[in-house]
Structure 1
């Protein structure tokens, strides 16, 4: 009987141990729950994650891995496949277009300060000096070309039809070309070099920074609508996850804005930062 009782106690103990093991292995461990893999394009946005977001998340107990990408395709594919928890590199128009084309469920968490497009020139030192008939290089893709035309309208150099969609403005929507500007569409990545060969060049902020241009050297910087500002993006199914809410808290923190002010000079802040 004593041997039977001992055997019964041993079986009962093993049963309890198995139950405890099952309860802890049924979900991620605490360390796994507190790990975030964050993708971003190499340059200012991977720097923003590394310098302004990662330290705040680490204070919250997360282990943060930053993965850099050199293109605009793989960060969303890696996010959708589960290799990333979040990414930072794209604006709303691109995110929605990419998600629709590839049948993905992507959602933004929060808009971040973004390097604006600017008009650069080695021939003129101000917008007022621009000569009649000057040539300006503009992006050859419709989305960024529309941004360039809106900058020129804000500067008083062209007038755009009131019926034009701001997201799809083209040369055909120009009603008045005050300086008789000539437009030269080229691939966006070549626009920094174009400063050397044409009178003016409309350079998106990310390409300007990649070419070691100073944003504040622009004759004028874009008054960027929020749909063109970059945002932190996650899979839609993760919108309510604790890590997603913690990323939002990190970006909304005074510590984040302090790093932006100190190290990302010229970046335009989104409306939520300006209005709080």
Structure 2
């Protein structure tokens, strides 16, 4: 018995605790190294508006920039990202269903509008019959592109059609006989030299150096089309996710937006 007690005294206390139970071990580890991802300009929003606040809370933060709408979610699923910022609720829901992922939105952020740009026309009134207009080819942004054209009198479609699911087949009136060309969203800014006008997502417009205030028209963004921070649902209640939300709700973040992101649509919570 004495030999057994002596053996116990030689075993490190931490090892004894580990042998006793591992219940709650993972939840006791506080995550302090974060990798956040986004497309331009949301990667800049993370870098300048979120990262400094999180670093004040003791986090080490890396921001990674992406140039498409697929990799930020696949990186989230693989664990190489802890959160991303580039997508709205409608896109997130469709992507999660298609790729069998469980994603959740955390908080919405100011969002660059989709807008109509042209190197040929200075106003909507100048658009000539038979002009070619380029729009994004992914379903959600196809609907946004067609809707911004509809809202500015260039197209009409049935009022009963869900504006978030509109396709070219739903167009009922095209008074200028516009020729609609579908392209990958990231290619739209470069298409301006070969088409007459284009409906371009705000992030790709900004990354291409286009001025949001120089567009011919902008879309009106409903709440479920405003971009949001997204995480894996299993991490939604983790402390780092709550701290990201706190950072975006901070006065520092709001001031950063006012200085650097003029012309962006603000979510309802920022206007209240």
TM-score surpassing 0.5? yes
Q: Distance in 1 between matches of 2:14 and 2:226?
A: 52
Match of 2:31 among 24, 30, 33: 33
User: 1:167-218: CA deviations, max 9, x gaps?
Assistant: 1112332233343333222332332122222221111112212222112111
Q: Relative to total residues, which structure has the larger helix share, 1 or 2?
A: 1
**Is 1:128 aligned with 2:125?**
yes
CA distance 1:222–1:99, change in 2 (3 Å): same
3-state SS of 1:185 partner: strand
Q: For this pair of structures, how many residues does the alignment match?
A: 268
CA distance 1:29–1:58, change in 2 (3 Å): farther
Q: Distance in 1 between matches of 2:137 and 2:8?
A: 73
Rg: which structure is higher? 1
Normalising to structure 2: TM-score of the pair?
0.86
3-state SS of 1:37 partner: strand
- Superposed CA RMSD in Å reads 2.8
Match of 2:222 among 216, 220, 225: 225
Q: Distance in 2 between matches of 1:15 and 1:197?
A: 72
Q: CA deviation at 1:12?
A: 4.8
CA distance 1:235–1:196, change in 2 (3 Å): same
User: 1:134-190: CA deviations, max 9, x gaps?
Assistant: 322222333222111111222122222111111111233223334333322233233
Contiguous gaps of at least 5 residues in structure 2: none
Q: CA deviation at 1:18?
A: 5.4
3-state SS of 2:87 partner: strand
Q: Within 5 Å, which residues of 2 pair with 1:110-149?
A: 110-149=107-146
3-state SS of 1:33 partner: coil
Q: Distance in 1 between matches of 2:215 and 2:241?
A: 35
Q: Distance in 2 between matches of 1:69 and 1:123?
A: 30
User: 1:89-147: CA deviations, max 9, x gaps?
Assistant: 22222222222222211111111112211101122212233233332222233322211
Normalising to structure 1: TM-score of the pair?
0.84
Q: Which residue of 2 aligns with 1:171?
A: 168
Give the conservation status (yes or no) of the 8 Å contact 2:36–2:62.
yes
Q: Distance in 2 between matches of 1:16 and 1:189?
A: 57
Q: Which residue of 1 aligns with 2:70?
A: 73
